[in-house]
Chains A and B, each alone.
Chain A
Amino acid sequence: SQELEQSPQSLIVQEGKNLTINCTSSKTLYGLYWYKQKYGEGLIFLMMLQKGGEEKSHEKITAKLDEKKQQSSLHITASQPSHAGIYLCGADKSYNTDKLIFGTGTRLQVFP
């Protein structure tokens, strides 16, 4: 079955630093989603990528999907304490399905 691996598992950075989180799949990704979760809360949608080589940005967060559609990266520029949380990548389990599987998450802490 398809699995998503995220790295690193946790990250502690100083405010203002850039960082990158990776998500790797053993199979071709039909749709790749990035979500953010704060402790005790549900998941907040960040971005969705579908096409090989696609890149999307929102504020200081940029997500990319590689050409082979098996790896995605999430890059945060000039991190702020508000970026702290758990970042989860999710993928469509197969083509034309709404069902998502998720990685184990990357816990990000940003200190002043």
Chain B
Amino acid sequence: GAGVSQSPRYKVAKRGQDVALRCDPISGHVSLFWYQQALGQGPEFLTYFQNEAQLDKSGLPSDRFFAERPEGSVSTLKIQRTQQEDSAVYLCASSPRAEKLFFGSGTQLSVL
């Protein structure tokens, strides 16, 4: 596709449930980022991939958060045993190396 695609668009989960969020970056983009955006806040960095290598995961809030990009293209952000504080919009962005980020529309996660 022409842009970064994220799915699902909306996700409602019961507390304790595991969720998986998908990101399809722009074809050929080396870098892929995940951000978490709470209501009324700017995006907060979670993790960064260059191709299949996860170079920085310093922003992941706990070990319940896990991200992968096994073939250097599609990425999945997994959250285990979701908590209410995990409710946020999860944004994925990709870029050709060291250039501006192209963002997807995000997945809005609501944990009840």
Q: Does B81 contact A (CB under 8 A)?
A: no
> How many residues of chain A are within 8 Å of chain B by beta carbon?
22
Q: Does B56 contact A (CB under 8 A)?
A: yes
What are some 28 contacts across the A-B interface (CB < 8 A)?
A: A4-B42, A33-B100, A40-B105, A40-B106, A41-B106, A42-B4, A43-B43, A43-B93, A43-B103, A45-B100, A45-B102, A90-B101, A96-B98, A98-B31, A98-B33, A98-B48, A98-B95, A98-B97, A98-B98, A99-B33, A99-B45, A99-B48, A99-B56, A100-B101, A102-B35, A102-B43, A102-B44, A104-B40
Name the B residues within 8 Å of A40 (CB-CB).
105-106, 108
| Nearest CB of chain B from residue A87's CB, rounded to whole Å | 10
Kindly identify which residue among B43, B48, B56, B98 contacts A88, using a CB–CB cutoff of 8 Å: B43
When the two chains form their complex, are residues A102 and B42 in contact, meaning their CB atoms are under 8 A apart? yes
Q: Which residues of B contact A (CB under 8 A)?
A: 4, 31, 33, 35, 40-45, 48, 56, 91, 93, 95, 97-106, 108
